[in-house]
């Protein structure tokens, strides 16, 4: 209960901070857009330019795309850190069910604190987006945190099963699955917004997500062994599904960026292929971490 109260209070305090800085709810949403996904092929050294806004896609469509991803990250981290996912109020009316996800029995206090800090941040992102979108906010789609990881492990060559909630090292590998995807996804999504007023603030939130990703990548380099191998197998899988732009983790390589040290970006289509655990074969509207697809306008791959 104490942890849950802390999560709630941090969410409120961050919103009050933005209000004092002069940002409205629209700014809070734009902030979250820069929050995060990264991945792609080892050795790739160039970023693709931000794609133009698809015809008919609006800022609320893009914000809802981000909200779907934030639901996924929030459910993963909250369940790992506290044993409980989003409240009904935060998930929205008629929200989809969440399969899997239990509290991790952390042995290292620092790792437990890292998990709780990121859970706080992802909860705040969900609340910022829902507040900014108001009645246009989509509810949480169905999320799978069990079968999805097993399928990813099989596809990546790790084995037939993988439980990121089994222990603290497995949790770090699970976190890696999402964090790198976060930075690239929101880098690409930010450029699709028609309102450019909040791009500076959006870059600030993207930086927060990049801190998360670097934290996880650093921990993996320190853990090493099979867990580092697993993470890099996941990296290769994301590269195959999501168009490259992947830098694998090693003791001397923490930053995922191109030859100009600019963070990679991904299109919404590339992100969907990753979270649906599908290659570019056929139009897909669900699978992987989102068994029935995302909610909102941007939910099916183009090819």
The chain-wide mean pLDDT, for the chain, equals 80
Q: Do residues 91 and 153 make contact, with C-beta atoms less than 8 angstroms apart?
A: no
Dist. CA 81–CA 173, nearest whole Å = 15
pTM of the model: 0.81
- pLDDT, tens digit, 9 for 90 and up, residues 260-279: 888 889 888 999 999 999 85
- Helix or strand or coil: residue 257? strand
Q: Do residues 78 and 119 make contact, with C-beta atoms less than 8 angstroms apart?
A: yes
Binning pLDDT at 50, 70 and 90, where does residue 202 land? low
pLDDT > 50? residue 51: no
- pLDDT, tens digit, 9 for 90 and up, residues 107-138: 999 999 999 999 999 999 899 889 888 999 99
Closest CA to 241 of 266, 270, 216, 218: 270
Q: What is the dihedral sign for C-alpha 106, 126, 277, 248?
A: negative
Dist. CA 218–CA 165, nearest whole Å = 19
Dist. CA 290–CA 151, nearest whole Å = 13
pLDDT > 70? residue 12: no
Q: What is the dihedral sign for C-alpha 201, 293, 172, 109?
A: positive
- Phi, psi at 114, each rounded to 5°: -60, -45
């Amino acid at each position: 209960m104490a942890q849950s109260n802390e999560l709630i209070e941090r969410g409120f305090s961050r919103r009050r901070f933005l209000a004092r800085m002069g940002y409205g709810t629209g700014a809070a949403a734009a902030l979250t857009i820069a929050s995060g996904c990264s991945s792609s092929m080892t050795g790739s050294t160039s970023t693709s330019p931000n794609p133009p806004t698809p015809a008919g896609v609006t800022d609320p469509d893009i914000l809802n795309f981000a909200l779907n991803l934030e639901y996924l990250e929030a459910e993963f981290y909250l369940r790992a850190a506290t044993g409980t996912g989003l409240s009904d109020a935060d998930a929205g009316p008629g929200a989809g069910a969440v399969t899997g996800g239990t509290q991790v029995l952390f042995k290292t206090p620092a790792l437990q604190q890292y998990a709780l800090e990121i859970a706080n941040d992802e909860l705040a992102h969900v609340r910022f987006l829902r507040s900014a979108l108001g009645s246009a906010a989509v509810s949480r789609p169905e999320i799978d945190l069990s079968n999805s990881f097993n399928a990813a492990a099989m596809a990546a060559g790790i084995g037939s099963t993988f439980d990121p909630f089994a222990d603290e090292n497995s949790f770090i590998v699970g976190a890696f699955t999402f964090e790198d995807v976060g930075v690239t996804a929101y880098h690409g999504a930010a450029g699709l917004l028609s309102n450019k007023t909040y791009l500076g603030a959006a870059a600030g939130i993207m930086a927060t997500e990049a801190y998360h990703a670097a934290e996880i990548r650093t921990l993996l380099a320190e853990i090493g062994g099979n867990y580092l191998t697993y993470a890099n197998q996941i990296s290769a899988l994301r590269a195959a599904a999501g168009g490259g732009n992947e830098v694998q983790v090693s003791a001397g390589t923490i930053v995922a960026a191109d030859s100009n040290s600019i963070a990679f970006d991904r299109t919404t289509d590339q992100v969907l292929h990753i979270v649906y655990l599908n290659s570019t074969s056929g139009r897909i509207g669900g699978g992987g971490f989102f068994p029935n697809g995302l909610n909102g306008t941007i939910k099916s791959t183009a090819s």
